[in-house]
Chain A
Amino acid sequence: MSRNSLARIEVFETSVKALPLVFFTTLLILPLASLLYAPFTVTLERGVDVLEGLSSYPFINRRPLGEFIVYSTGEPPKLILSFKDYGVIPNTIIAALIVTALATIIGTAVALILARYTFPGRDAMRIASMIPLLYTPFVNAFVAYKLFGQGGILAEVTGEVLGVSISMQGLAGMIMAQVFMFWPIVYINAFASMIQIDPSVEEQAENLGARGWTLYKTVTIPLALPGIASGAALVFIFSMEDLAAPLAFDVDNVVSIWIVREILAATDISQVSTETLILALMLAVSASAWFIAVRRYISLRQYATAEKGGWKGRRLRRPSPLLLVIIYLLILPWIIVSASHQIGVLVYAFSEDWSGLLPRGFTLSNFSEVLSDERVVRSFRNSFLYASTASLIIALIAVTSAYAVERIGGRLSTVIDVLATIPLAMPGLAVALGILALFGFTVAKGTPLDPFTNPGLYLVLAYAVRKSPFTTRAAFAGLKHVHKSLEEAAMSLGARRPKVVKDITLPLIAINVAGGLLISFVYSVTEVSTSITLGGLNEDQSPVTYIVYDYLTGGYGGGMFIHLAAAIVAMLMALQVAAITFVNLALKQRYAFIGV
């Protein structure tokens, strides 16, 4: 190659690396640093004292508090699933491990069944499996209590039917809610991996006599490991970072909640506590370590396939009667139960009153009332615009970071890898307040870039930062499945790197990226932390989650305020469904089902 073209390659590679580096430094590292600088200096002053505090109650409990299960005699007797409190730090890890284990087992099992068997209702189940992914911000807390709390529906029904009233509280409830929320993440990743497995491999195994479980255990599942493992890694981080489930079950002693509490407890954002800093670092380090470990492990194996696409239900078979029973009596009810939060939101949205066991008075007036509020309509437009714009940025960032790490390598690629991962583990509130402190008070003050003037701009960027890892992970997984030899073949025929990327790599990973973008979009639309912090700066630019929050805290509509908020959230769910359907239809030609 001529010197000129070598230089060009270098320019290409440098810009591919520079883009994510600049992006994450500006919008993640600097804002966090501006927020955590003060506690950092205080930590240096206080030294070991800080560690001493973190090694005792409430961070690490010398003896666990409370009980796993509380049983109270009475009429009817009550069985309350709770959990021991081991302290903020162990609780977080224990819960994340349990949630990851359960979500992985369930997600893989469901994926295996849906990817390899055909039976009546399969399509419906594939769609229903996506429902738990629909976020229902704020209102889910009401629903969780209504369904699983003491005096809730589960308690009433079990009290009547079994004679023992069963309810969930604390960490036990949180773990359950997280398994409901997160198993589909393993499922869609595992499903995508399974249908991308080169069919000839399974056929060869079958020719050698492998059948049923042996085939899955020795061939299918190991080959789907990249998908399963990255899904599991996501779930682990999600569980640690999640605020929705702990808030729904009043769990205080987990790291995510603790960080938010500590930040809000400060008299001023220039005085955030040292514990915030340390716990946030802990989340960031464990998230990146976990991800990098998973990828190193996967990299030891060869998973790529030289064949892409072309999968058209070739490997679908009919389940045995026993398996069919399991599907209808175990898998189907599970899918329905794990969608219970979403169902509950709809019940609130379409009813006049749900203070008793059963809702009363079907109505559409909740919808007509919130739709007559121009802020609601505007906020939907805003959120849609923000999330779509953020998705465009995310596509760019995700593809460049994945390509830089996976194909270019070299110095800085580990840095990019870490940077592209930690937004998942970073509390949104810290990012939001960091942005406010950095840009709102200093850099952009008085310019059109001022977040007090145009908070929408920062919401877009914050969504892009916070929700990019979903697409980046998907792009990684895609690149893992594309054999380098395909690109090398093109290069050996004289194609230069940018052309290879454009003509070979991008088309081959497009489906993965599109699937990742779908998740990024859905989670951007439903983003809470940044939205409620920046969304109030200019009401014209408020996103929909801010409006829901305002409805709930302001108590608008008097007695109906929960139902009104539920109506907004129900419409938010509809928006998410519309996005999923759209992507589904758009990809139909290539792929029967959208998978990540």
Chain B
Amino acid sequence: MAAQNRALLLVGVIAAFILIALALFFLGGGSESGEVGTQAETPPTPQTTPQPTAGETVTEAITTTTETPETRTTVTTPEEKEIKREPVILRVLTRHPGEIQRATVEAFLQSEVAKKYNIVDIKFYSVPPVAWISAIKSRGDFDVAWGGGPTLFDQLYLEGLLAPLTSEEALDAASQIPDKFAGVAMKRVGDDGKIYWVAASIASFGFTVNHKVLKEYNLPIPKRWADLASPLYGKPLVEENRPIVAIADPTKSTSNTRMYEIILQAYGWEEGWKVLTGMAANSLIEQGSADVRDDVIVGKVAVGITIDFYGYTAMRANPDTEYIIPEGETVVNGDPIALLVTSKNPDAAQAFIAWVLTEGQKIWFREDVNRLPANPNAFNLPEGRERQDLKAVWESLRNAKTLDFDDNLALQVEVAMQLYFNATLVQLDNLLKEVWKALVSKYLSGEISDDEFKAYLSRLGEPLEYVDPVTGEKVKFTMEDAKRVTEVLRENPRLRDAYIAAWRKAAVEKYESLLAELGG
């Protein structure tokens, strides 16, 4: 009896696991295995060779890249004389939301290009940015990366994970995208002169404001980035412990990273950090850019720094909100698409990239997407002609007085800038606010003058002197130093924590001494 029961139990357990596994494989019908199945059952085109599946992936593929022509294992079925391309499934790593993914799959699969290259499906993988590099390196079968902002793509570029565009049609499509738009590079050109990523859409950066909340606190509409560091916006913080501005942590938001880079270039390194410090002190620091947008929509804050299409979403969600482009300080951003070195089908992948840069630009015109195309010719598409509103925004951005942004420089200091910001302004958020509240309340009550306030802000925001964890020497976080640290961390990422700890320690000392001085 006991033996029987035991056996039954065991069989039951195994059966349950098998059932689960089976249930999952057939679930949704869209799984990998499902597709191979459908393909085999309904053969519109005769196929004799098995389709490449995920099973055939090889890690060494990272090195075998561009030269290999498309895997056309010349299927010579008797009835076919021509070269028949194998069906291809493209694997695209993306940060774009599901709506854009679906619209793309729908439109692309009907296109001539898809037919020509026999691309039967596009698989989108929404992987958190923190896992992109690991995913690309160890999977070895992603073809294209699309969406996520230039800072993310530059990281991939520096890791050697992006392959240059080589096919004629991709290069032709890329040539339709201006090299620069409003002073910002729309392509990443490597030292070898080849193109590693191209912008597929354009975004501007600015403020989304909630007029109702601004009015409630009698606050002016911000016009420049530096306005957000003004003690005026610190008043609700002092009185009600309520931050009235929202920003996002640069280690989690590529769009906010770009805005901080803009500020550091618009005002210069030293001044820029003072602006960033005052702004962070005034702000609710969120974990993502969408949270910033939502804070403005619900009226938790009066101002949020956002990318333009978030501003447009906000305006539709709450008519009290408005997207504002900072005067003379706006920078646009090209949101890239790129070929990955791990692509097994570089020809087909480049054909897809070419399509996104040309015909596929119509995706941006959809009402629920609302983005600016990178290709000016897109406005000649039927869908584009109907979006004169976007055209107007596009024109105004192109003609706007914009900043001459050096994205090479931004890239050189990027990692250090993000981590320094995180260590001194995000992690020590409450301590910084304590100093700021003491300072602003003295200013608002007239205890200290305008000049004295500026002197304090200057001390508070001035880049820190810290003890370098590697050399043990005391150094100042200048732009040169940021370049050096970025380089050091690229060589040895394991030092990251040590630098964060060093910066945090120096910041704690400064904040505490200022707090003591202000009698807070």
Contact = CB atoms under 8 A, between A and B. Distances in A.
A496 B131 CA distance: 51
B318 A72 contact: no
Interface string A511-553: 0000000000000000000000100111111000001001011
B127 A536 contact: yes
Nearest to A78: B240
A266 B130 contact: yes
Those 3 A-B pairs whose CB atoms lie nearest each other, nearest first? A536-B126, A540-B30, A554-B97
Interface in B185-243: 213, 216, 239-242
A433 B130 contact: yes
A39 B216 CA distance: 47
Given A80-B240, A264-B251, A396 B16 contact: yes
Contacts of A457: 20-21, 24
Given A265-B249, A446-B54, A454-B31, A556 B99 contact: yes
Interface stretch (A145-153, A313-321, A478-486): A145-153
A105 B422 CA distance: 40
Nearest to A503: B5
Given A11-B6, A265-B249, A556-B368, A445 B101 contact: no
Nearest to B3: A8
B27 A497 contact: no
Contacts of B297: 562
A66 B422 CA distance: 21
B32 interface: yes
Nearest to A453: B32
A70 B16 CA distance: 57
Interface of A: 5, 8, 11-12, 15, 19, 38-39, 41-42, 45-46, 49-50, 52-53, 56-58, 61-62, 65-67, 70, 72, 74, 78, 80, 82, 85, 142, 145-146, 149-151, 169-170, 250, 252-253, 261, 263-271, 273-275, 355, 375, 378, 382, 385, 389, 392-393, 396, 433, 436-437, 440-442, 445-448, 450, 452-454, 456-457, 460, 496-499, 502, 533, 536-541, 547, 550, 552-562
B497 A269 contact: no
Contact of A559 (B284, B316, B429, B430): B316
B274 interface: no
B513 interface: no
Given A445-B139, A537-B125, A541-B28, A555 B240 contact: no
B33 interface: yes
Contacts of A375: 98, 102
B128 A264 contact: yes
B31 A541 contact: yes
B282 to A, nearest CB: 15
Contacts of B56: 446
Contacts of A273: 496-497, 500
B412 interface: no
B252 A453 contact: no
Given A57-B428, A393-B16, A539-B98, A252 B55 contact: no
A393 B20 contact: yes
Contacts of B16: 392-393, 396
Contacts of A72: 239-240
Interface stretch (B40-48, B107-115, B330-338, B501-509): B501-509
A437 B288 contact: no
B475 interface: no
B131 A553 contact: no
Given A72-B239, A393-B16, A448 B25 contact: yes
B493 interface: yes
Given A15-B10, A265-B251, A553-B290, A53 B28 contact: no
A436 B300 contact: no
Nearest to B4: A498
A483 B28 CA distance: 47
Given A72-B240, A382-B28, A562-B297, 4 more contacts: A57-B431, A58-B429, A66-B430, A265-B252
B294 interface: yes
A266 B240 CA distance: 34
B163 to A, nearest CB: 20
Nearest to B34: A540
Nearest to B27: A456
A64 B27 CA distance: 52
B271 interface: no
Interface of B: 1-3, 5-6, 9-10, 13, 16, 20-21, 23-25, 27-33, 53-57, 97-102, 123-128, 130-135, 138-139, 155, 213, 216, 239-242, 249, 251-252, 284-285, 287-288, 290, 293-294, 297-300, 310, 313, 316-318, 320, 367-368, 415, 422, 427-431, 433-434, 469, 493-494, 496-498, 500-501, 504-505, 508, 512
13 contacts: A142-B298, A267-B493, A355-B298, A389-B23, A456-B27, A457-B21, A497-B2, A538-B31, A539-B98, A553-B290, A554-B98, A556-B368, A561-B313
Given A264-B251, A453-B33, A378 B28 contact: yes
Contacts of A250: 284
A382 B285 CA distance: 34
Contacts of A378: 28
Contacts of B133: 267-268, 270
A268 B222 CA distance: 36
B439 to A, nearest CB: 15
B28 A540 contact: yes
Given A80-B241, A453-B33, A559 B134 contact: no
A170 B241 CA distance: 10
Contact of A12 (B6, B135, B428, B505): B6
Nearest to B286: A250
A83 to B, nearest CB: 10
B139 A452 contact: yes
A4 to B, nearest CB: 9
A43 B97 CA distance: 37
Contacts of A50: 497, 501
A554 B138 CA distance: 28
B241 A169 contact: yes
A539 B28 CA distance: 9
Contact of B317 (A62, A441, A558): A558
A273 B123 CA distance: 32
Nearest to B131: A269
Given A537-B127, A555-B290, A385 B497 contact: no
A574 B466 CA distance: 55
Among A5, A142, A269: residue with most chain B CB under 10 A:
A269
A288 B264 CA distance: 47
Given A389-B23, A446-B55, A269 B130 contact: yes
Contact of B24 (A396, A456, A557): A456
A52 B318 CA distance: 47
A49 B134 contact: no
